[in-house]
Chains A and B, each alone.
Chain A
Amino acid sequence: MKRPIFWAVVIVLLAMAPFVLRSYNLYLLNLAAVKIIAAIGLALLTGYTGQLSIGHAGFLAIGAYGTALLAQHFGLPFWVGIPVAGFISGLAGFILLIPALRLTAIYLAIATLAFGTAVAEALPRWAAVTGGYQGMRVPRASFFGINVQNDVAMYYLALAMTVLLLLVARNIVRSRVGRAFVAIRDKSMAAQACGVSLAKYKALAFFVSALYAGLAGGLYAHVVGYISPAEFGLAKSIDLFIMIALGGMASLPGPVLGALFLTYLPHWLSGFRGLQSIIYGASLIGVVVFMPFGIWGFVRKWTAPDKVQSLPKPLRAAVAFVRGGGGA
């Protein structure tokens, strides 16, 4: 099957999902979309540009609270509020540029961890604005007066955002910008000798990555309708990292697969009460051990063996880090 036809069929099938699936399944898909968008953003930063971040939940929080607050205080509709909050999150991404221009690898990861923790700590303490530990209700989404705060409408919003942001990410990685990202990751001196400004492209990577996370956060706010600080803690950042490490981080299908995997695995396991986290952990280890290049790398090994390359070294270190093995 030709590629454009394949994708057209996929999109049509996805667009028909609301006619087939129950509301709860749509809700799950919406949550998956949130994770996919955030994971793509993190893959651009960590997988492509080699800048380790384990503080990305901070950007999700900025996007989610930003969207909610813009709707509450300024009455901005979701289709303005989400992009604006995403943009604010993107600007916040520049905060991480300060350590990123001096630190690499695990040291940068620690700085990003500090950022994520700072946001997670600030949210409950700034109770006057954020509602503190109780969280806040997100004003209902409406489209020119029509209430669209339901799973079906949110599904189409999530689908549109995911497709659009995937296409944008694909365009970026295939352009000189994407090549500059990879050049910085693999050999930063050679990259500079080719005319790539480290400061400029790292800034761009952090901005785009934080923008994606912010947009994901904004979508999340409307999908769930209620947000609280507990959802944006360290665990969420690590979840995101696991998604891209599992899926295959220097690719775009990778984060999509990783996000779907981490959305549905806990769901499928909900029947095995008590054994849930054991099976969950075991399957994560299984994927990392038997698919060292991620799920996408595993798929490619069978579908396009000539194109499979080993994982770039910094990412191996990152995977080792996640597996608790340390690694330089």
Chain B
Amino acid sequence: MSEHLLAASGLTKRFGGLTAVDGVEFHVDEGEIVGLIGPNGAGKTTVFNLISRFLEPTAGAITFDGVDLLRVPPHKVIGLGIARTFQNLGLFPYMTVRDNLLVGRHNQFHGRILSLAVGVGRREERAAAAEVGEMLDAFGLGALGGAPASMLPYGSQKAVELIRALMAKPRLVLLDEPVAGMNATETQTMGQFIRRVREERGVTVLLVEHDMSLVMEICDRIVVLDFGRKIAEGTPREIQTNPRVVEAYLGQEVDRAQV
């Protein structure tokens, strides 16, 4: 059915009486940068957590490259080619930057515990460690490899987390608010970074973000959620002029209160 890289249909998640995601249908095609936007509480992160399999949907389906994602446990999602970052940083704070990135490659190491215990079978890890250095250099973070992740400035931590996601050689990365808390310059840098990820590595990107200037600038297509429902979808230009989107963001406070 699916030529789409990622496709969700009828995706619904209820927490008790609250319907966080309500019959959402969207797709991401290979090579796209797609933005998932919406006011706070719209269900964006819930959608990410459904794709990452941290949550079980109440109803609906998600496929990735034709594979039924709902049959896959959370730790195997990355093996299909989906890596992600987290809203509040998913770095391991007490590990060095280098080790953080090596965890990103975890699913591609095959060394068996017994051989690792006696100190052999680490060639692949050494090769990956060399690659870590190249990756950090490529993104201008070369000097930071040995530092504990938590010692880095916030913007660099966000960048390291994205590099860690790339270590898995994914086909799709999910970025949960990649520029949250960043200043204008950092946001610019991150925006270019995300573009490079697509252009240089051919990685498809699905991102959740509140920074509209960034979203409008880098996304090919935008999906808008409000109260768990998809209310619009289209190019940045279409979205900017869509009255329902404007209403959801700027709001009619009185109406909202009555809902």
Contact = CB atoms under 8 A, between A and B. Distances in A.
Contacts of B125: 175-176
Contact of B122 (A175, A180, A183): A175
Interface string B90-116: 111111000100111011010101001
Interface in A178-214: 179-180, 182-183, 186-187, 189-198, 204
Contacts of B52: 192-193
B122 A309 contact: no
Nearest to B164: A194
A251 to B, nearest CB: 11
B77 interface: yes
Contact of B116 (A176, A186, A193, A198): A176
B251 to A, nearest CB: 32
A195 B117 contact: no
Contact of A192 (B74, B148, B168): B74
Interface size class of A (residues with CB under 8 A): 20 to 34
Given A175-B122, A189-B86, A196 B150 contact: no
Contacts of A92: none
A309 B148 CA distance: 8
B250 interface: no
B14 interface: no
Given A179-B99, A309-B94, A192 B116 contact: no
Interface string B64-92: 00000000011111110001101000111
Contacts of A172: 113, 116-117
Contacts of B111: 175-176
Contact of A194 (B93, B107, B116, B148): B107
A103 B18 CA distance: 26
A24 to B, nearest CB: 35
A168 B168 contact: no
B118 interface: yes
Contact of B92 (A168, A182, A198): A182
Given A176-B106, A309-B94, A309-B148, A193 B83 contact: yes
Contact of A176 (B86, B109, B151, B164): B109
B66 to A, nearest CB: 21
B249 interface: no
A8 B151 CA distance: 35
A171 interface: yes
Interface string A248-265: 001000000000000000
Contact of A193 (B77, B102, B118, B148): B77
Given A176-B102, A182-B95, A187 B148 contact: no
A40 to B, nearest CB: 13
B140 interface: no
A299 interface: no
A177 B117 CA distance: 9
A167 B84 CA distance: 35
Interface in A247-284: 250
A190 B86 contact: yes
Contact of B103 (A189, A191, A197, A309): A191
A36 B103 CA distance: 29
Given A171-B117, A177-B113, A196-B103, A190 B150 contact: no
Contact of A177 (B74, B116, B151): B116
A157 B76 CA distance: 43
Contact of A171 (B103, B106, B118): B118
A204 B104 CA distance: 20
Contacts of B104: 194
Given A168-B117, A175-B125, A187-B92, A194 B150 contact: no
Given A176-B125, A309-B148, A196 B94 contact: no
Nearest to B108: A195
B117 A250 contact: no
Interface in A137-187: 167-168, 171-172, 175-177, 179-180, 182-183, 186-187
B94 A194 contact: no
B139 interface: no
Given A189-B54, A190-B92, A179 B103 contact: yes
Interface of B: 52, 54, 73-79, 83-84, 86, 90-95, 99, 102-104, 106-107, 109, 111, 113, 116-119, 122, 125, 148, 150-151, 164, 168
Given A172-B113, A176-B125, A187-B92, 11 more contacts: A167-B119, A168-B117, A177-B116, A179-B103, A179-B106, A186-B92, A189-B86, A193-B75, A194-B78, A194-B104, A198-B75
26 contacts: A167-B119, A168-B118, A175-B122, A176-B102, A176-B103, A177-B113, A179-B99, A180-B106, A182-B92, A186-B95, A187-B90, A187-B91, A190-B86, A190-B92, A191-B92, A192-B54, A192-B74, A193-B52, A193-B74, A193-B75, A193-B78, A193-B83, A195-B75, A196-B75, A197-B73, A197-B75
